[in-house]
Structure 1
């Protein structure tokens, strides 16, 4: 991504929002949810740390349906978020998946919006359908080490030439993809020529060949077909300039076949009303699907003015016309009617699906029409000849019988390329509930650990009144040990350190709630425990906006039963060699998982009664790429031992640590010796 691109995308924002406003005159949904377009919305805590799937519009959403269903089945406890750019795709997402997935609009590709988006959603991995790549989006994912897979990827000659021409503007975006699953060999070669590494790309076929018709859709279609008992022709995904030709053709069909029913389904919802007006002025007796009424014998047209029912209409129809093809729109996906065993008619303009239509034509499994008259002839021929319909159905089925399997192949790619999803298959963030006792206060708590929760749980006075305070740990501040079931809890308030702490005891600069001190530590601990790392279990976290400036924070974590920190242990006795090695191995396990500990010292290392090592206090910590910080962590730990030894000698108290004896043992454990 270049500086010119970043500047240009910002300058374009007023024009983009003006476009949405103007588009909203016919489709009011374009004027809604504008906060999401700039990532200004609130994302539920239990939607974070999941899988992000981006389908720009309806076609990509329909193609990805079976893959998304497979992901929901494979990772039942992993939050899945489906993003799109259009209201029709948003509505379809709700129709197909309900509350099983979160839906949101992908923000416009400005640096600030994408930074906020990834801060709030924090996905584990990103799946992009077809070719919807954005430079700022990819840059943020790369910086955060979030793998990005481009699935069902296609690259036309025209798009290939455009990306080559504007490479100076968008920068090296293709090198930032972790995996590309291409639809065709030609697309695969184009992606590699653009910069995708050859070992990060493969031919996987087209998800659209795996179109699956749900059993309930087939059952409904069969029932309606029997109830209506008339010839049905569906004209699907139609555009302005096509409807007039379709209705002229239908007038000719009615002269020969008066009982015929046309199901007319415009591509875009903002055209539903104008197509209804076209039917009225044309003298057609019609009923709208949105009315909830079924067509009666005197109705000639059913206006399909709902979303998510196109497969039903294809399954119900005797003949299907696939729109966007009588005008130079490029056509739409013919594999959906093929999946429902419905003969296909198309206009001549099918460059969006050129290869598929060519195969249908070679197999004599499609009819092309260039005019309303030719369209009427083809429809009449098929509506009145069951044998011909069966011939086209069978030819289409035979042609694509060997092309299925892309869904299974891409699902395997996801599992292979992103093994961390296996570890996160039971995301603990799914168990997080959000509580807002007041406008200024936000609490995250584990609903699997608390039946109910109160803001009072973050005050020591509340627990003292209950007689539950068992003790306290002192340092920069006091942390309280609280008796609880099934494990005791530790309550810690966040305080400032250093010189700043002398004038500002506990306020921090205002930031996004998800990035605030307590929430960030809470979320990090959940992620580390999913990886089976030796860290305490987080229970709840609180963010309280302070008056005028800043915020305060608190966290509740489970007490590690029978554990003592190494500082206290060394005040009592010398550690055994195996104990030092266990501590070193625990640090190495953290480092191997890319976990940076900002304050690794002898107070934050613990050993329990069973000899297991634990690491605590993950404030201001996080994931990092391998680097010099690992050795810096160890150096900081060594300094802490030396510091405490010096303080003990000055105070004339025991501290059973000798660098020459003990430090090599810890390093041996770290190195796996």
Structure 2
């Protein structure tokens, strides 16, 4: 009894310390909003949404709510959102994000089919105001967003909450450890549809109820491959030279663009007509990447200024959002960023879905099991650093048979793991019936 009381007191203290800290950092939050308002044109007009102030369309009570923090999570949620639209056509659908790029991706994918609003900061008054305006029937949180006040408020209102496509890296688990009692309480009653056995085990360690954890697989395996991606990719290749060796460095971060550009210098020594397509993860890096390419002497074009590269260009900067699939289709080899930098890697499934051999760096903990499977089955390879990236890109661009073999194996991995959406939708049906 004493032990239980001590645990309860600790939870209580942690919760109110957490709330106090959230209020204390609110001035910094406002400063961040000001900074982002300068960076993203009309973003300042939507600041009130961060505090739960917005006007929802008529008929929102009873909506189905999906939260996806940014672009990657929105892409992962795409097949689930479409399944919800198909199975519950009369239920209003709300999709929240945290980032402006996530918001842009929601509008690009779904248009007016869903209502988008920014998720409020995890302040009690903001969360309550948000839930009062929407009054959702169900909350589906994509991947790893655990906000204690939001979770407590959903439970207080009787809103079923499920973390879908749930993943939790070892690093995130260590970071959550000081808040473990608080998170264990927040996760009480929350259903978890985990990507893998490893993710399920980590959620159990975090405090989720083992009876409410299911291994559903990764929603990203169920993402639709745009029907016209291959066609557009073929058209792109016709424009810059169909037989040219082409590779792409996608979703890159600081340091990785320089590594890719220096690797391309090595590639050009052996394959002088090779073309590098490069797509930074964040829009604010687009201009820097272009300057870096020109600074190294590359004949450089960009999506915004030139549309497509010409025969004379050696580097093409993809300074647009949501267009990676056709450029993956137009490439012979794909390097997926966030993996040479200590970011944890990004989605390797998009190039795999298009039968492209995949290269990743050593840091892939965000997509741990998928990457391990892809490498083990021969659809991908790891690179240790920039020089190793140059060597492996050159090796693949010089060996068509090996590229095609790796591409087939990558596609086989992608196809073998599909079905997560159906498993999650069965859980959704059960929650809504309850």
The answer to whether the superposition gives a TM-score over 0.5 is: yes
The residue number in structure 2 matching 1:310 is 324
Is 1:219 aligned with 2:231?
yes
Partner of 1:19: 32
Q: 1-side partners of 2:379 and 2:17: how far apart? A: 49
The equivalent of 1:186 in structure 2 is 198
Conservation of the 8 A alpha-carbon contact between 1:55 and 1:128: yes
| C-alpha displacement of 1:297 | 1.2
Runs of 4+ in 1 over 4 A off after TM superposition: 23-32, 168-171
2:417 & 2:309 partners in 1: Cα distance? Answer: 37
1:29 and 1:169, CA in 2 relative to 1: closer, same or farther beyond 3 A? farther
The change in CA–CA distance for 1:113 and 1:171 in structure 2 (over 3 A counts) is: farther
Pick from 259, 264, 269 the counterpart of residue 283 of structure 2: 269
Unaligned runs of 5+ in 1: 421-673
Query: More helix per residue: 1 or 2?
Result: 2
RMSD after superposition: 2.1
> C-alpha distance in 2, partners of 1:190/1:256?
46
Query: Contact (CA 8 Å) 2:352, 2:414: kept in 1 or not?
Result: no
Q: Bigger CA drift: 52-61 or 256-265?
A: 256-265
Distance 1:264 1:74 in 2: 38
Distance 1:222 1:99 in 2: 31
Q: Which string of whole-angstrom CA distances, capped at 9 and with x for unpartnered residues, describes residues 340-394 of structure 1?
A: 1111112222222222222222223222223333222211222232211111112
Instruction: Identify the range of structure 1 (292-301 vs 269-278) with the bigger mean alpha-carbon deviation.
Output: 292-301
1:83 Cα offset (Å) = 0.5
Contact 1:211/1:339, CA 8 A, preserved across alignment: no
Matching residue of 2:160: 147
Cα pair 1:95 1:307 within 8 Å, conserved: no
CA contact (8 A) 2:354 2:411 kept: no
**1:206 aligns with one of 212, 215, 218:** 218
CA–CA separation in structure 2 for the residues paired with 1:307 and 1:107:
24
Describe the SS at the equivalent of 1:418: helix
Q: Which residue of 2 aligns with 1:242?
A: 256
What is the CA-CA distance between 1:277 and the residue it aligns to? 1.7
Are residue 197 (structure 1) and residue 228 (structure 2) matched?
Answer: no
2:160 corresponds to 1:124: no
User: Which protein shows a greater Rg?
Assistant: 1
| Number of positions where the alignment pairs a residue of Structure 1 with one of Structure 2 | 419
Report the Cα distance in structure 2 between the residues aligned to 1:212 and 1:261, rounded to whole angstroms: 27
1:357 aligns with 2:371: yes
* Alignment partner of 1:91 is 2:104: yes
Unaligned runs of 5+ in 2: 1-11
C-alpha displacement of 1:400: 4.5
**Does 2:146 align with 1:133?**
yes
- Superposed CA offset, 1:499-554 (max 9, x none): xxxxxxxxxxxxxxxxxxxxxxxxxxxxxxxxxxxxxxxxxxxxxxxxxxxxxxxx
Contact 2:356 2:410 in 1 (8 A): no
Structure-2 separation of matches of 1:233 and 1:32: 39
Q: Deviations over 1:590-630 (max 9, x none)?
A: xxxxxxxxxxxxxxxxxxxxxxxxxxxxxxxxxxxxxxxxx
> Which residue of 2 is the match for residue 113 of structure 1?
126
2:69–2:102 contact (8 Å) kept in structure 1 = yes
User: 1:286: which partner in 2?
Assistant: 300
Out of 248, 251, 258, the residue aligned to residue 272 of structure 2 is: 258
Task: Give deviations 1:428-485, integer Å, cap 9, x for gaps.
Answer: xxxxxxxxxxxxxxxxxxxxxxxxxxxxxxxxxxxxxxxxxxxxxxxxxxxxxxxxxx
Q: Distance in 2 between matches of 1:300 and 1:72?
A: 43
The answer to whether the Cα contact below 8 Å between 1:337 and 1:344 also exists between their aligned partners in 2 is: yes
The offset of 1:37, in angstroms, is 0.7
Query: Against the structure 1 CA distance between its residues 46 and 277, is the aligned structure 2 distance closer, same or farther, given a 3 Å change threshold?
Result: farther
TM-score normalised per structure 2: 0.90
Measured against aligned partners, the alpha-carbon deviations of 1:37-85 in whole angstroms (never above 9, x if no partner) come to 1111222224443111000111111111111111122222321111011
Correspondence list, 1:494-643, <5 A: none
Cα distance, 1:143–1:371 mapped onto 2, change above 3 Å: closer
Change (3 A) 1:244 1:132: same
Q: Structure 2 CA distance, aligned partners of 1:47 and 1:285?
A: 52
Q: How many angstroms does 1:27 deviate by?
A: 4.9
How far apart, CA to CA, are the structure 1 residues paired with 2:189 and 2:113?
A: 30
Instruction: Indicate if the aligned counterparts of 1:204 and 1:410 stay in contact, CA closer than 8 A.
Output: yes
CA distance in 2, matches of 1:29, 1:155: 33
Distance 2:207 2:343 in 1: 30
Tell me, yes or no, if the aligned pair for 1:55 and 1:129 is still in contact at 8 Å.
yes
Answer yes or no: is the 8 Å Cα contact 1:26–1:271 preserved in 2.
Answer: no
- Highest relative contact order (Cα 8 Å, sep 6+), 1 or 2? 2
Which residue of the other structure, out of 44, 47, 50, is the alignment partner of 2:63?
Answer: 50
Hey, what does 1:671 align to over in structure 2? none
1:123, CA displacement in angstroms? 1.3
- What does residue 636 of structure 1 align with? none
Q: Does the 8 Å contact 1:242/1:323 carry over to 2?
A: yes
402 and 293 in structure 1: CA distance in 2 versus 1, 3 angstrom threshold: closer
8 A contact 1:324–1:331 mirrored in 2:
yes
Distance 1:401 1:237 in 2: 23
19-28 vs 128-137, greater mean Cα deviation = 19-28
Corresponding residue of 1:335: 349
CA distance in 1, matches of 2:184, 2:384: 42
Q: Note the C-alpha offset of 1:25.
A: 5.3
